[in-house]
Amino acid sequence: MPYEYRKMTLQEREAILRERRLRGYPFHSPPHPFRQGYRYLLTAVNFDHTPIMASPERRTEFAARLLSVMRDIGAEVHGWAVLPNHYHASVAVQSLDIVPGALKRLHGTTSREWNLEDGQSGKRKVWYKFTDRVIRDDRGFYQALNYIHFNPLKHGYVTDVYHWQWSSIHDYCEAYGPEWLRKKWKAQPIGDFGKGWDD
């Protein structure tokens, strides 16, 4: 949203803000209209899509911290991927209300640490607010999982999804085998799932 908003005319911006006001959404951050216990696809992006997690070490450390934070709040993590400028996680939670505070703390601590490491303290915004999408059924669950696992390929970081280290695909491959994964990919193809999310 912040990237699209910057490109809009004044009239387009006013129309968007009117629509958000009518829906009760915040003006300049992602809405979270569903709060109940569901499965969700969570996504957070480095501000302006800057690849702040470009180094393998940083991605490895962040993946461990993300999974730890999700465990600490009692979330069941079904799938995840950490890329140089964003991450996705498929989780089941008792209530979405427990997620914003946990991610705010994670994003806050990593912002401080990375800005100090990179000599950007006080100069750089690291994270944009997270988004969530409700996963309503098993079809959506496997589409989200396939989307997560194919994301590094989609963005051109690898030519084979198994070559991306920072993803739950390896856990699934070890637990169920590559043939099980292939069947899920064929049975629940991504199609337009996620279209426009990364624009």
Q: Per-residue pLDDT for the chain (199 aa), expressed as one digit of tens each?
A: 444 656 667 777 666 556 656 655 544 445 445 556 589 999 999 999 999 999 999 999 999 999 999 999 999 999 999 999 999 999 999 999 999 999 999 999 999 999 999 999 989 999 998 999 999 899 999 999 999 999 999 999 999 999 999 999 999 999 999 999 999 999 998 887 777 665 5
Whether 192 maps to a domain, the answer reads no
Output the pLDDT for position 197: 63
48: left (phi over 0), alpha (psi -120 to 50) or beta: left
Residue 57 lies in a domain: yes
Q: What's the token pair of residue 77?
A: 């993590």
For the record, the structure tokens of 16 come out as 């968007």
Q: Are residues 74 and 18 part of one domain?
A: no
The reply to whether 23 and 45 lie within a common domain is no
- According to the model, what pLDDT value does residue 24 have? 54
Dihedral over alpha carbons 70, 73, 75, 81 (to 10 degrees) = -10
DSSP output for 67-126: HHHHHHTTPEEEEEEE-SSEEEEEEEES-GGGHHHHHHHHHHHHHHHHHHHTT-TTT---
Residues 17 and 73 in one domain: no
Report the domain count for the chain. 2
What pairs with residue 133 in β-bridges? 41
Determine the pLDDT at residue 194.
Answer: 73
Q: Are residues 78 and 155 in the same domain?
A: yes
The whole-number pLDDT of residue 35 equals 52
Note whether 42 and 6 are same-domain residues.
Answer: no
Return the SS3 of 146. helix
Domain carrying residue 126 = 32-187
Same-domain status, 1 and 52 = no
Q: Supply the CATH number for residue 43's domain.
A: 3.30.70.1290
Residue 198 lies in a domain: no
Distance CA 36, CA 80 (A): 21
- 127 falls within a domain: yes
pLDDT value of position 165: 97
* pLDDT of res. 22: 61
Taking the model in full, what pTM does it have? 0.81
pLDDT of residue 37: 59
Round to whole Å and give the CA distance between 61 and 185. 28
Strand ranges across the sheet with 76-82: 76-82, 86-93, 38-45, 131-135
